């Protein structure tokens, strides 16, 4: 929900190992750095008159605390790339479910469905509004555009 006179805020959370983008398996994840991804997110947020909070952590509990914080602070939507926690974390899934109806879009740079079988399962995706995989940085842009436009 938006309040007149208050700029709506979008959040983007990045999970473990995403701080190494640009030099981490570039053949899989591309050459954009995390700073590049955040700059792209910032540009989309600005285009829609929104502020953006972007954070990265390797720590499951910290990501969970930030999901709660975003909801309590009145975020209008969140894009999250949970990294490897996507495939393992019941706690992260429960955190996303706990902040409903905050819309959350899961983003993966790579097409997880075309990779190892263990990446085909997403525990977190089932409680998100939607999932985007395989579009690289464009996936974050699409997620934020969706989140910004639906809050109108």
For ligand DQA, the binding residues (CB under 6 A) are 17, 81, 83-84, 86, 108-110, 112, 119
Q: How far is the CB of 108 from ligand DQA (least distance, A)?
A: 4
14 or 147: CB nearest ligand DQA: 14
Which member of 29, 59, 85, 120 is catalytic? 29
Strand segments, DSSP code E, in 5-60 are: 9-14, 51-56
43 or 121: CB nearest ligand DQA: 121
38 or 86: CB nearest ligand DQA: 86
- Active-site residue flag, 85: no
- Residue 19 sits at φ, ψ, to 5 deg, of -65, -15
Query: What does the alpha-carbon distance between residue 67 and residue 107 come to, in Å, rounded to a whole number?
Result: 15
Q: How far is the CB of 150 from ligand DQA (least distance, A)?
A: 23
Q: How far is the CB of 109 from ligand DQA (least distance, A)?
A: 4
- Active-site residue flag, 108: yes
Which member of 59, 85, 87, 108 is catalytic? 108
Structure tokens at 12: 């983007």
Residue 86 · residue 108 · CB < 8 Å = yes
DSSP bridge partners of 56: 14
- For residue 39, give the H/E element and its range: helix 34-47
Query: What does the alpha-carbon distance between residue 127 and residue 36 come to, in Å, rounded to a whole number?
Result: 28
Q: How far is the CB of 96 from ligand DQA (least distance, A)?
A: 15
Q: Please give the positions annotated as active site.
A: 29, 108
């Amino acid at each position: 929900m938006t309040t007149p006179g208050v700029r709506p805020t979008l959040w983007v959370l990045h999970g473990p190992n995403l701080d190494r983008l640009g030099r981490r398996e570039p053949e899989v994840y591309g050459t954009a750095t995390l700073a590049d991804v955040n700059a792209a997110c910032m540009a989309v947020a600005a285009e829609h008159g929104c502020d953006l909070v972007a954070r990265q952590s390797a720590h499951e509990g910290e990501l969970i605390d930030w999901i709660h914080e975003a909801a309590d602070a009145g975020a209008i939507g969140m894009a999250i790339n949970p990294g490897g926690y996507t495939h393992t974390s019941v706690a992260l899934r429960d955190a996303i479910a706990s902040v409903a109806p905050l819309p959350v879009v899961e983003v993966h740079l790579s097409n997880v469905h075309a990779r190892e079988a263990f990446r085909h399962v997403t525990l977190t995706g089932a409680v998100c509004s939607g999932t985007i995989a395989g579009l690289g940085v464009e996936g974050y842009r699409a997620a934020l555009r969706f989140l910004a436009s639906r809050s109108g």
